Amino acid sequence: MINSLNHLPHPLEDGATLAGHFSDLAPPLTARQAEVEASRCLYCYDAPCVNACPSEIDIPSFIRNIHQDNVQGAAQKILSANILGGSCARVCPTEILCQHACVRNNAEECAPVLIGLLQRYAIDNAHFREHPFQRAAATGKRIAVVGAGPAGLSCAHRSAMHGHDVVIFEAREKAGGLNEYGIAKYKLVDDFAQHELDFLLQIGGIEIRHGHKLGDNLSLSDLHQQFDAVFLGLGLAASKQLGLPHEDAPGMLAATDYIRELRQTDDLSQLPLAEHCIVLGAGNTAIDMAVQMARLGARDVNLVYRRGVPDMGATDHEQDIAKANQVRLLTWAQPEQVLLDDQGLVRGMRFARTRMDEGRLVTTGETFELAADAIFKAIGQSFDEHALSDPLASQLQRQGGRIQVDEQMQTSIPGVYAGGDCTSLDQDLTVQAVQHGKLAAQAMHARLMLNVEAA
């Protein structure tokens, strides 16, 4: 997958040393730290942190359980709302969600309750002898889930709880989606995504079939006929393009492709390293890419964005991580030309200076160049149109290039639901995808049981 970077050298440090650079970004709380932090919660009756949580976790309740030394109860409270609560505690931008809404988040209090770390503490320290949720009596209904990412896994687990049999169709070798392939290695360490998957599957009634891709060897038409309901958790599989000449030259690569390889390798010292690199974009993926290249040993990492810092998709917390890793953030610069050497390899990029003019982004006429061994594109993901190429799938109504759904996550085709990044709803967050899957499962169950009663 990284063939376009084969001409680059490998990191100078050995694999063990490099692995140390990718240790846990946020070390877990100790029991004493968790006790002290839990005691700071005011257990608000109309807790604003709950309203700010996309998956509607009862935050005051689980924190009270921690304070009362009932870690098991705290974990069960979290997982009942968000079955992927462990990974969400690690990757969710709590600084702009629950912790931002915390009533202690003010100048007098200095800091909000560390909800994310408390959630992680509860999940990591709850040792269930058996799966905490039991399947309802079998309904005889079969549900197809396309995509084993956070949305699909959440939908499958909640559907299994309702007593339905679930088959997940996944294109890749491993389940987990973004958590397995797309998150910075220092955010989800120790193969956490697979451990969480193993726990989720303990509910029973869920089968995963790998190597099945919608639009290739799988069609929505067949699934719609063979199953009682279908959930599409397709994600955004294609990377957006710059539309510039030489965009496929050796040295150009989508950031998501590199991150996927980095997360799957057993020896970081065998990865290609761009000592001088450019990352295009301003979201969390761009930050993840830039920071990981810096930790592999790059000497010069520039993250370039066409607008200003206030417009960056990455949170202030993520930007601080980049700065702490000596990543240079350059704004108001738009890619203009890919620069190649005599062998046709990437040697840098020319940028046009930009500014805002009456609400429109325009170039100033000034340009500059940056040298680079590799350029990584993190300018956003797009929908893989081939996935919806069969006759039934092509009838799905779209909005903004993504699948349109209603408040119950149902698409324009009866019996077909969708959730996660492939829909046009809200932010592209793991926690939001989990909520979409949960809501879709509840809506499917209500519809299927209504049909049973009517019969």
* Together in a domain, 81 and 112: yes
Q: Using CA atoms, how far apart are residues 437 and 452, in angstroms rounded to an integer?
A: 22
Range of the domain at 47: 31-125
* Together in a domain, 367 and 250: yes
Statement: residue 357 has pLDDT above 60? yes
Boundary residue ending a domain (381, 413, 443): 381
Give the per-residue pLDDT at 287. 96
* Together in a domain, 249 and 369: yes
* Together in a domain, 402 and 268: no
Determine the average pLDDT of the residues in 346-365.
Answer: 95
How confident is residue 426, by pLDDT bands cut at 50, 70 and 90? low
The three-class DSSP label of residue 224 is helix
Angle, helices 115-125/71-81, rounded to nearest 10 degrees: 110
Can you list the alpha helix ranges (DSSP code H) found in 162-309? 178-181, 192-201, 220-226, 255-264, 284-296
Burial 236-265 (b: 16+ CB within 10 A, else e): bbbbeebeeeeeebbbbbbbbbbbbbbbee
Q: Is residue 7 part of a domain?
A: no
Statement: residue 254 has pLDDT above 60? yes
Name the average pLDDT for the chain. 94
Hunting for tokens 């990044």 — which residue is that? Answer: 421
* Together in a domain, 158 and 43: no
Q: Using CA atoms, how far apart are residues 138 and 193, in angstroms rounded to an integer?
A: 28
Q: Is residue 22 part of a domain?
A: no
* Together in a domain, 305 and 365: yes
Q: Is residue 25 part of a domain?
A: no
Boundary residue ending a domain (59, 93, 125): 125
CATH number at residue 41: 1.10.1060.10
Q: Using CA atoms, how far apart are residues 303 and 312, in angstroms rounded to an integer?
A: 11
Determine the average pLDDT of the residues in 318-335.
Answer: 96
Give the per-residue pLDDT at 194. 96
Element (DSSP H or E) covering residue 154: helix 150-161
* Together in a domain, 259 and 377: yes
pLDDT in tens, 6-15: 999 999 999 9
How confident is residue 109, by pLDDT bands cut at 50, 70 and 90? confident
Give the per-residue pLDDT at 202. 96
CATH number at residue 285: 3.50.50.60
Q: Is residue 133 part of a domain?
A: no
* Together in a domain, 246 and 232: no
Q: Is residue 14 part of a domain?
A: no
The three-class DSSP label of residue 95 is helix
Statement: residue 450 has pLDDT above 90? no
* Together in a domain, 283 and 355: yes
Number of domains in the chain: 3
Give the per-residue pLDDT at 448. 94
Hunting for tokens 């202030």 — which residue is that? Answer: 316
What are the structure tokens assigned to 278, written together?
Answer: 């450019």
* Together in a domain, 171 and 275: no
Determine the average pLDDT of the residues in 347-364.
Answer: 95
Statement: residue 248 has pLDDT above 80? yes
Statement: residue 455 has pLDDT above 60? no
Task: Give percent above pLDDT 90 in the chain.
Answer: 88
Determine the average pLDDT of the residues in 350-361.
Answer: 95
Element (DSSP H or E) covering residue 367: strand 360-371
Q: Is residue 112 part of a domain?
A: yes
* Together in a domain, 249 and 359: yes
* Together in a domain, 195 and 250: no
Can you list the alpha helix ranges (DSSP code H) found in 216-272? 220-226, 255-264
Please state the pTM of the whole predicted model: 0.94
Q: Is residue 20 part of a domain?
A: no
Q: Is residue 1 part of a domain?
A: no
